[in-house]
Every structure is written in structure tokens, then in C-alpha cells.
Amino acid sequence: MTEVDDLARWSSTVDWKAQPQNVQASVRRVLRDSLAVMVAGGQLAESAARRRALPLSDGPATVAGSKSTTAVCDAAWLNGCSLVALELDEGNKEIRGHATAHVLPAALAVAEAAHRTGPEFAAAFLAGHEVASRFGRATRLHAGVHPHGNWGVTGAAAAVAHLHRGDARATAAAIDAASALALATPFPVALEGLPVRDAWIGQANASGIRAWAAADSTRGATGVAALSLGRILGEFDAEALTDDAPLAITGGYLKRHASCSYTHPPADAALAVREKRDPEAGVEDIVVETHRLAAALDTRIWPSRLAAMFSVPYVVATALRDGACPPEAFDEAHRADPALKALAAKVRVVHDPALDARLPKERVARLRVRWTDGGEEVVEVPNPVGDADHEPLSEADLTAKAVMLLGATAHRVRDLADALVDASDVAGVMASLREES
């Protein structure tokens, strides 16, 4: 309880203008990338289907990728689903998950409805991102639990509390209530490619908003997180909530492949092999040696885009054959391609326990490709391209990514992400965003 109180005290007093230049630059960078990814996700056919399936009410909050507005919790839910639908959202290996996806949709919806300024929104997002990140580092989920929808709800609650100008006690109470709203999220749902996986993030954002309403601010924190996250869903180290680690927004990774981050080092290795030798020359077999977290992503049947995004064999085959893993590489036509299926069938994923010892600093993949003429290529990749500790994506890379996703509107959407931070009223920027859809 003491650690939650201390973290809430920090969170409630975050001042955007007081942040150092590197923190402000990191927030802007993450927002530019994330807004483009969220809008692109909102333009998917399945996102439109979600909107049609829900009894959406009128409201003030923008639904990304559309010209619509709806109620605050509905917008946070829909935009959370959209932000993760393409597997291109920001993440962090140290927290073993995705803080931005848990926080940004809730912060945007509440800031827009409350007509908060850009600096108020940016401070709330930063506060929520850090709270989610610290709960991510503090929580070691049981094997088989996916990190979407559980520890991150605390960050959504912290951001919402900040936007409501809650004091330290009210913020602690909101975080405490959010801890009791954590979801039990079975990892095989992602491997099977079930769309409810995306809904976990949507639900976390909506729950963060509701946690503010459900909190008992007269009591502050009661220690719920140690029970829900630390006993039912995993183990919990409260000291990680208040240690002297740098702000997580300055680290992490931004993604270039539209797939689970565990598949990125194998994909990057495949691209390196492709530069050395023409993959059409004849592949005998491919072995991916990796750590325990990635070794389970060995599925050979891909009934949906999400299932393929969580398959090391599929992603490696795509990278080696096509030289890129954009969202369209996971559509139905590509998944049905006999040649791609044949190449993926040659990929074998092997757990190397020695590589577990390098977690979480490194998410290693070692790729061995044997050719039909007897030749062999071996490439080891310590972390995904895009990781702050490895090969961070440049602004040119991120612009190209946005253009790939949004075409002609990409530059305007990135400009609007910058405008969010400086706006006199976030609602005006979000109205402009709807015009780009």
C-alpha cells in the first residue's frame, strides 16, 4: 500500500512543462507513431464491424479511423481494440508488455470530453504510461497469462485521475480499484487468433475510466494489487513501483513488423540472411533457436491475421521470402499461399534455455538456414530492430511506416499528434483527426 501511495503521489503531480527535453521528445515520438497505428487499426473492416455490432450511444469522444463520436467509455474501448489490431503498437521488454495501448485511448477520450489542454493531456498520458510500466515490471504473470488487460489498467486509471485533477489519495484509490478490475487473459487466445485478444486492451482502457468512478478516495490504496496481480494472476514485487528506474517512455521499442514482438528478432535475422543469399535458391530447413517466451509461438495453422502474427514460422517465412512483414502480409490471400505455407513448414522453433538467462535485457533469436546445396547461414539477433537499446527507428522510418499505413493522410495525422501536446483544447485536434478519416 505504501508503494502505491508513493507512486500515486508522483503521478498526481506530473507537470508536462517541467519534464526534461528527452522525456518530452519521447512522448511526442510515441504519440506520433501510436496515433497513426490507432487510426489505421480503426479503418480495418473488423473495426467497422465492431462499431456496427455495438449499441453505441451519442457522445463527445472520437472513434479513431472514422468520422464518428461516441460515449467516452465506448470510444476508449473501440480505440484500444484498434491500437493493437495490427500488432504495431509501442512496447517495452523490461515491462514485458505494452503501456501505451493500455493508457492512450482512455486518456484521449477523457481529455477530449473534458476539453483539457494539450499539456494536461500529455502530463496525464506520461503519468499513466509510467504507472502502467511500473506495474508491468512489478508483475510476473503466471505462465500462460497474456500481458494485455491486467497490470496495464492501473495506468489508464492513473491517467484518468490526472485528467480529473485528482489528488494523491484519490489517484491511489483509482489505481487500487483498477487493480481489482484486472482481467484473466489466457495466452492461447492470441495463438488461436481470436479477436477477443484485442478487446482485452479495449476493456482495460474502459475499466481505467470506470475505476475513477468506482474508487473509494477516503481510503486510498488497500493493497488489492498484491492479491489480484500478485496472487491470482502472478507474483508481485512492490518495490519496483518506486525504484529509481528511468521513465519507461524513454526506452521501449517501436515496431516495424506487423507481428508479435517475440517474432521480430527471428524476422530481422531472416532479413539479414536474405541480404546474403537469394531465398529462391532453395531452402532445406530453417531452425530458430530462441528463449522460452518466443518458443511457444510455433503454430502451423493460421485461421486469422492475428494467429499468423503470433507464429514464428509464418513471420520468418514471410520475411525471408518477401523482405518485409507489413499488415497485408497477414491477410487471407497470403495465409493461403501454397508457396508461403511450404516455406513456413520448413521452420522449426527450438527453445534454448541458455538464451533465457539473457532476458529481459535481450530477446535473442538465432536463425540457422540450410540450403539444398549444403550451404548454411547463421545469424543471431539480440533484440528487435526498433528497440531503444538496439537499433531504434529513425523519424524517417516512422514516417515511412505511417505512410505505409495511411497513405496520403499520414503526414497530417503525425502533425495532429504533435498538435495534441500543444493544443489549447484537445477536442479541437480530435475533430481535425476525424476529418482525415
Residues 416 and 365 in one domain: no
Examine residue 388 and state whether it is found in any structural domain, yes or no.
Answer: no
pLDDT 10s digits, 396-436: 999 999 999 999 999 999 999 999 999 999 999 999 999 99
Give every CB contact of residue 415 below 8 A, 6+ residues apart in sequence.
none
Give every CB contact of residue 130 below 8 A, 6+ residues apart in sequence.
11, 99, 155, 247, 248, 249
106 with 161: CB under 8 angstroms?
no
**pLDDT class of 352 with cuts at 50, 70, 90:** very high
Domain count of the chain?
2
CATH number of the domain enclosing 156:
1.10.4100.10
Residues 217 and 320 in one domain: no
The H-assigned helical ranges of 379-425 are 395-406, 410-422
**Helix (H), strand (E), coil (C) string for 416-434:** HHHHHHHCCCHHHHHHHHH
Each residue of 20-29: b (16+ CB within 10 Å) or e? eeebbebbbb
Examine residue 269 and state whether it is found in any structural domain, yes or no.
Answer: yes
Residues 11 and 115 in one domain: yes
Residues 29 and 139 in one domain: yes
CA distances from 341 to 22, 347, 359, 424 (A): 44, 10, 31, 52
Name the pTM for this structure. 0.97
Residues 339 and 276 in one domain: yes
Q: What is the DSSP letter of 220?
A: -
**pLDDT class of 102 with cuts at 50, 70, 90:** very high
- Domain residues for the domain of 136 are 2-255+395-435
Residues 297 and 228 in one domain: no
pLDDT 10s digits, 396-406: 999 999 999 99
Examine residue 364 and state whether it is found in any structural domain, yes or no.
Answer: yes
pLDDT 10s digits, 297-328: 999 999 999 999 999 999 999 999 999 999 99
Examine residue 60 and state whether it is found in any structural domain, yes or no.
Answer: yes
Examine residue 387 and state whether it is found in any structural domain, yes or no.
Answer: no
Residue 437's pLDDT is 87
> Does residue 279 have a pLDDT over 90?
no
Residue 362's pLDDT is 97
Least confident of 133-137, 173-177, 220-224, 235-239: 220-224
**pLDDT class of 290 with cuts at 50, 70, 90:** very high
Examine residue 390 and state whether it is found in any structural domain, yes or no.
Answer: no
Examine residue 193 and state whether it is found in any structural domain, yes or no.
Answer: yes
**pLDDT class of 252 with cuts at 50, 70, 90:** very high
pLDDT 10s digits, 75-84: 999 999 999 9
C-alpha grid cell, residue 206 = 474502459
Residues 201 and 343 in one domain: no
Least confident of 74-78, 126-130, 263-267, 278-282: 278-282
Residue 278's pLDDT is 87
**pLDDT class of 1 with cuts at 50, 70, 90:** confident
Residues 409 and 308 in one domain: no
Residues 198 and 240 in one domain: yes
Residues 215 and 320 in one domain: no
Residues 222 and 181 in one domain: yes
Examine residue 240 and state whether it is found in any structural domain, yes or no.
Answer: yes
Residues 163 and 269 in one domain: no
- Percent of the chain scoring above 70 in pLDDT: 100
pLDDT 10s digits, 8-19: 999 999 999 999
Burial class (CB in 10 A: 0-12, 13-18, 19+), 275: exposed
71 with 61: CB under 8 angstroms?
yes
CA 84 from chain centre, in angstroms, equals: 6
CATH number of the domain enclosing 371:
3.30.1330.120
Mean pLDDT of all residues in 275-303:
95
Residue corresponding to grid cell 532453395? 282
